Amino acid sequence: MEWYVLRTVCGKEDATLTILQKMFSEVELIYPRRRISWRKQGSYIDLVRPLFDGYLFISYPKEKIRAFAQVLRMRNLNIAWLVYSGGELVPILSKEKQLIQKLMGSDGIVEVSTVEKQHEQLQVVKGPLVGLEHIVTKVSRRNRRITVEIPMLDEVRKIELEGNLI
């Protein structure tokens, strides 16, 4: 089944997901998240944050997606909006969907990756980024961050993931 993009208020992804799951039990909602740590007063705090701030995905048959959009509008739910591209409701490309699924794994959370630098070339040795070195744009040893570029609806989004450089 194809994935469509739902836009929501940044920081309200969890609440929106809960409301939509209660209202539309037959709809599969996908909420990709990432595990990331923050350094605070010398120690690290592990957090789980959205992979795409303000975005969820919906997996629903193409012939029913317009009805879903109408129900959202009719109920005046200003918590989520389907994203249109060029005035048309289009699903994300299958290669974009596969990339997001590969990153998320089975639990929906992008885990920590380990990167090794050999002769000025990066190689991911562990984690969800294995084999995806082409999307890595920056690695910060000090901040333990790997910046990746993920395409979605004809745009490239820069996302910071947790990573270790060895």
- How many domains is the chain partitioned into structurally? 1
Of the pLDDT bands very low, low, confident and very high (cuts 50, 70, 90), residue 146 is very high
Percent above pLDDT 70 for the chain: 99
What's the sign of the alpha-carbon dihedral 57, 62, 68, 73? positive
Question: How far from each other are the two terminal CA atoms of the chain, in whole angstroms?
Answer: 39
Token pair, residue 144, equals 């333990």
Map tokens 């004809």 to a residue: 154
Mean pLDDT confidence for 93-114: 94
Q: Which of 142, 137, 141, 149 is nearest to 114 (CA)?
A: 141
CATH of the domain at 62: 3.30.70
Q: Which domain holds residue 56?
A: 3-165
Helix or strand or coil: residue 14? helix
CA angle 14, 19, 23 (to 5 degrees): 145
Taking the C-alpha atoms of residue 130 and residue 113, their distance in angstroms, rounded to an integer, is: 8
3-state secondary structure at position 11: coil
- pTM more than 0.85: yes
Q: Which amino acid, residue 149?
A: E
